[in-house]
Every structure is written in structure tokens, then in C-alpha cells.
Amino acid sequence: MPSRRFLVPLLAAALCAAGALVAPDARAGEQAYKAVAAARKLIASGQVPAGSRLTLGFKQGNVNAFLGTDLALQKEWENLTGIVLDVHIVPQQPIRETLRGTPDIDIAVARNHEYPDLLADGLITDIGPFMAEYGYRFDDNDSDGYIRPELQSKVGERTVAIPADGDVVLLYLRRDLMENAQEQAAFRKTYGRALAAPKTWAEYEDLVRFFHRPAQGLYGAAEERDEEGAWMFWMPRFLSSAAPHAELFDEQMRPRLDMPGAIAATENYIALVKYSPPGITDAGRNYNFTLPLFAQGKAFATMNTIAAARMFNTEGSAVRGKFAAVPLPGGRVDNRTVRHNTLIYGNNLVIPKSARNARLAFLYAMWLTDPDVSTRSIGVAGGFADPYRWNHLRDARIRKIYTPEALETFSGEWAVTQPAGTGLRGDAQYLAALDRNLTAAARGEIGAQEAMNRTSSEWEQITDKLGRAEQIRQWAEFRRQFGNRK
């Protein structure tokens, strides 16, 4: 009977050997193996006491995705390393508030646009040194690499997060209605063109207008107009309002919201309210309000991440097999279509500055986001995290959960995806001002022009307060990340 000290390495070796035999790619499993080996080395050297505890600050919905069904992934990590995972369920609020109030978290979940504020406030760790020390890099090879890791992991030149989610925006339409011959005929008669997925935001508005039939219990659009996160549904419209892409500020950090394209984007954002269900602009009417409407067949269109496809494809969904996830529309600039997407929610992993076991937390995150391990993590029906590696898109379980068509659109949208938020220190303040004025406009309290004017004014004040010179430097750094990938 072998002793425990031999049993664990034997088991790990067997697992690795099994992984090597069944894995589709030679590198799959290597990332996890390195992380486990490094964790064991830390324990053997006495740098980390055996049986140490890693405190994970996850939101309720993250638990299945990051720990597996019936905590299978948690048990696997604990068996391999002896490091105990202690999950603290943190409230649904900006992670900045959570990290300020809960200092003993070793690893937490953050949204892409939150990174600059978290870094500026000294709340998260620069993991670049760890990456270098352990020989890791966020490989973006199309076999099993991360998808556009530079958008999900960096602030300027500093690496601050490990990608663990892929929240680009998709447009969901009722395919059954669009394929209906009578509807197609009626649409052609009204608009003089075929009923098809919209290429521009104007076409999108036509489609929504056409299908808006509240008397029949069908609303044209169920797109979120909640104040919190209003920028997420405005930003794609704005980015595609100029070629090669619109910019929020000029080189001196003067807001560029008074440009005709910005006003048009805002008007399109506002225009959809009248084709939406009543109360769409009320506070708290987020995706918990819009997704059920679409899932119950009461809306023609909605916008959300790839996660919505998983929800619509659930048994019981009224639109299962009847919906289509299509690319976002674009803007017409100089007789050509400019399309841009952006990262919105996001559940990526950051290591708080106050983490007691930062090194271990990093190794755990690298293990969790390994091609193999993460495929099992994403292939969970009730998870929050969505595909973020290329091999996820080819996995049979994941394709069954999300539908191959939605994953195909999702894969294509990454090429036109731009970094999230403003990329600036003070991002939360900038976006809050934008959200507030967009919502006031959506509620009809002010016009699009006024909303942009007020936002510009408030942004100027924020910039002056934070120090224009430093903001100019950060904006210049952020602008360099823009551009499409083919």
C-alpha cells in the first residue's frame, strides 16, 4: 500500500497522463500542471504552510462556474494541492466597494472597465511579476488560447487580471418571425428591402418599429435602459459613429460628445424606448426585466452577452429554437459600414492588494483558467461565466448549451471588439455621469444634445479634479488598444 506522500504525486501524474492522452491539444493541461507543481513547491519549501486557506470572494452566480457542479473543481484543486478553498459570497455591487470593505479576500471577480480604478486605488495586484516568474503568458493562439486577452487583462502595460469570462454584446432576434413569409412580404412592402438581420443601427430601428405590436403582446425591443450600466448599450452605437472608430476624448481630454455621430448614437439609443415595454427606464429594470420578456416570446429583439443564448436555449424557454444571435449593427460613415463591439459585464479574476496569499491565488487562477479545467468550468448549465478561450467554442457540451449558431456569431464579434469603458482612472465617475444623462434622455427629461452637453461638462470637471495631465497620459495609453483584429 503506497503511503500518502507517494499517492498524491502518483494521482497527479496519472491525471496529467490521462489529460495528455485525451486532450485535443498538446498544451492543454500544461498550464494547470505548472500551477499545481508550483503550489506544491511552495508548500514543500515551507513558504506556504500545508493546509493553507485561499479566500475566494465570488458572487452567488460565480460559484457553479468557478467551483464546478457539486463543487467538483474545488475538490479537485484541494486534492491536488492540499490548499483549502474558502468561498465568501460577496454582495452584487461594484467590486471596488467589496474590496474596500473586505480586506481578507485572496481572489475576486472584476469587470473589465473597473480595472483602472481598482489599480489607481491600490486595490489590486500587478500580476506581471508572477507571470514572468512562473513563465506564463496569455497565449492567444487559435487552438486553445485566450480570446483577445489584451482586452481583458491589462491596464496600460500592466497585467492586472486573469481572463475568466467573455462578455461581448450580441443582438438577439426572433428568427421564427423573420422567417415567416407573411412578415417578410409585409416588411418588403413597407421598407422596400428584405427582412434580414440589421446591418446598421437605422435598420435595427426599422426592424424594431416593424415588429412593435403591443396590442398583440409583442414589443419591438427589450433592450436595457436601466441607469446602472446604460453606457454598455450606448457604447457600441457611439464607437461605430465615426471611422475608424469614435473616441470619447481628444488628445487633450476634451470630450468629443458634441460630434454629430455621438448625438446620432444617443438619439438611436433613446429612439428604442418607444418600442420597449412600459417602465423600461424605471430604476432596476436590468436584464432581469428584459431577458424574461424575450424568453417568454414577448419581445422581438434584445441585446445581451452570449449568456443570454444559454438562457434562451433552456428547456421551457418559449424561444428555444426560435431565436437568432446576430452581430451588432454598425454605423454608416463615408458610404461604408463601421461596426464595433465592446466588453460589458465580465467576471475576470483579480488578486486584491490585501490578499494574504497572492502567489497562491495567482496559481489557483491559472489552474482554473487552464484550457481543460476551464472547459469543464464553462460547460456547466447554471454557471455565470461564458466562453473565453478558443477551445471552449469547439467543446461539444458548451456548443449544446449555447447553440453552435450563437457561438459562431460570438466568435466573429471578437474581431471588432474594443476595450471596455473609458480606460481611465475615475472610470466609475465618468461612466456614472454618462449613465445618469443617458437615462434622463431616455426618460424624455432632456434631449440627446443636452445629455451629451451635460456629460461633457461633468467629464471636464472630473478630468480637472483628477488632474488633466495624468488623464491625458492614461487616455493616450488606452487609445493604443483600439483597433480591429482580423
Partner 1 sequence: MNLPHAPSPAVAAPARRSPFRQSLLVRLSIMFALGGLLVAAILVIGNRVLDDAKQRLENTVIRQVQPLAATHRLQTRSNELRTLELELPTVRDVFALPQYAERMQVEIEAMTAELAPFLVALASTRPDDARRLEKHWANYRGDLQEVIQLAGKMDLAAAEAITSTRTRTAHAAISSILRELVSATEQAATEAYRQAREEQQRQQRFFLMLSLGGFLFLAAGLVVFARSLSRRLRTVRDAATRLAAGEEREPIAISGDDEISDLGQAFNAMQEIVVSREHSLRAAQEELEDRVAQRTQALATANARLWMLSQAVEQNPIGVLIASADRRVEYANAAYVRVTGRPADTQLASSLPEAADPERSREVDAEFRAALLACEDWDGERRSCRPDGSEYWEHLRLVAMRTEQGRPEHLLLMREDITERRTQEEKVAYQAYYDSLTALPNRTLALDRLQQATGRAAREGTMCAVMFIDLDNFKQINDTIGHVAGDELLCQASVRLRSVIRAEDTVARLGGDEFLIILGVAQASDADAVATKIIQAFTPPFQIEGREFTASPSIGVSLFPDDGNAPSVLLRNADLAMYEAKDAGRNTFRFFNQKIHDDSVARMEIERELRGALDRGELQVHFQPLVAARDGRLVGAEALLRWTHPVLGRVPPDRFIPIAEQSGLIVSIGSWVLDQACGHAACWREACGGDFVIAVNVSPRQFATPGLVDTIRACVERHAIPRNQLEIEVTEGLLIRNPGEVREAMLALEAIGVTVALDDFGTGYSSLSYLRAFPFHTIKIDRSFIRDLSDDAEDCALVVAAIRMARALGLRVVAEGVETEVQSRFLAHQESDVLQGYLFGPPIPPEDFVADWVHNPSRRAFSS
The neighbour count for residue 228, using CB atoms within 10 Å, is 16
Nearer to partner 1, 12 or 71 (CB): 71
Provide the minimum distance between the beta carbon of 385 and partner 1 in the complex, in angstroms, as a whole number.
10
Compute the distance between CA of residue 179 and CA of residue 249 in angstroms, rounded to an integer.
Answer: 42
89 binds partner 1, rule: CB under 8 A: no
Query: Interface mask (CB under 8 A) for partner 1, residues 8-47, using x and -?
Result: --------------------------------------x-
Nearer to partner 1, 242 or 280 (CB): 280
Compute the distance between CA of residue 164 and CA of residue 370 in angstroms, rounded to an integer.
Answer: 10
User: Which 367-426 positions form the footprint of partner 1 (CB under 8 A)?
Assistant: 381-382, 384
318 binds partner 1, rule: CB under 8 A: yes
48 binds partner 1, rule: CB under 8 A: no
- Out of 316, 334, 335, 336, name the contact with partner 1 by CB under 8 A: 316
Residue 398 in contact with residue 378, Cβ under 8 Å?
A: yes
Residue 164 in contact with residue 348, Cβ under 8 Å?
A: yes
Query: Interface mask (CB under 8 A) for partner 1, residues 256-295, using x and -?
Result: -------------------------------xx--xx--x
Provide the minimum distance between the beta carbon of 64 and partner 1 in the complex, in angstroms, as a whole number.
6
> Which range, of 57-65, 106-114, 251-259, 261-269, touches partner 1 by CB under 8 A?
57-65
Residue 216 in contact with residue 431, Cβ under 8 Å?
A: no
357 binds partner 1, rule: CB under 8 A: no
DSSP per-residue codes, 378-422: HS-TT-S----BGGGGG-HHHHHHH-HHHHHHHHHHGGGEE-SS-
What nine digits make up the cell of 95? Answer: 467590486
Nearer to partner 1, 62 or 474 (CB): 62
Nearest to 52 by CA among 362, 369, 354, 361: 361
Nearest to 319 by CA among 179, 214, 175, 171: 175
- Out of 252, 314, 337, 461, name the contact with partner 1 by CB under 8 A: 314
Compute the distance between CA of residue 289 and CA of residue 226 in angstroms, rounded to an integer.
Answer: 10
Nearer to partner 1, 92 or 216 (CB): 92
Nearest to 196 by CA among 226, 171, 233: 171
60 binds partner 1, rule: CB under 8 A: yes
What nine digits make up the cell of 232? Answer: 454598455
> Which range, of 107-115, 238-246, 307-315, 443-451, touches partner 1 by CB under 8 A?
307-315
- Tell me which residues touch partner 1 (CB under 8 A): 46, 49, 60-61, 64, 92, 287-288, 291-292, 295-296, 307, 310-311, 314-318, 320, 381-382, 384
